[in-house]
Amino acid sequence: EVRLVESGGGLVKPGESLRLSCVGSGFTFTNYNMNWVRQAPGKGLEWVSSISGTGSYIYYADSLEGRFTISRDNAKNSLFLQMNSLRAEDTAVYYCARRASSFSPFDPWGLGTLVTVSS
């Protein structure tokens, strides 16, 4: 069974940093593009970042203004999102999701981890 499990969320103050993790199982992790998508409370889905299987290709949403960094460790079947200079508007559930290729949909998704930015 394919599983994605996120962790690392929590309550932080504005300006602080947080690192999210996503561990994949049930598939050959290095063969898949991985993504982060977030959802603010009561709002819709917002794509955040994508990374190719080897880590050679990386994309970010413009709204992040260079504050987030995506990375992966294929030896540990792990995806990461380093989030710096956090703002209240970054408060959201952060999901990781898999893509079979650059032209595949997001499937499946993890259960998500909640990040709350508040003073």
Give me the residues that bind another protein (CB under 8 A), please.
35, 37, 44-47, 50, 59, 61-62, 95, 99, 103-112
Residue 22 has φ and ψ, to the nearest 5°, of -140, 120
Minimal distance in Å, beta carbon 106 to another protein?
7
- Closest to another protein by CB, 58 vs 88, is 58
- Closest to another protein by CB, 15 vs 40, is 40
Minimal distance in Å, beta carbon 51 to another protein?
12
- Who contacts 58 (Cβ-Cβ below 8 Å, separation ≥6)? 49, 50, 51, 52, 70
Minimal distance in Å, beta carbon 119 to another protein?
27
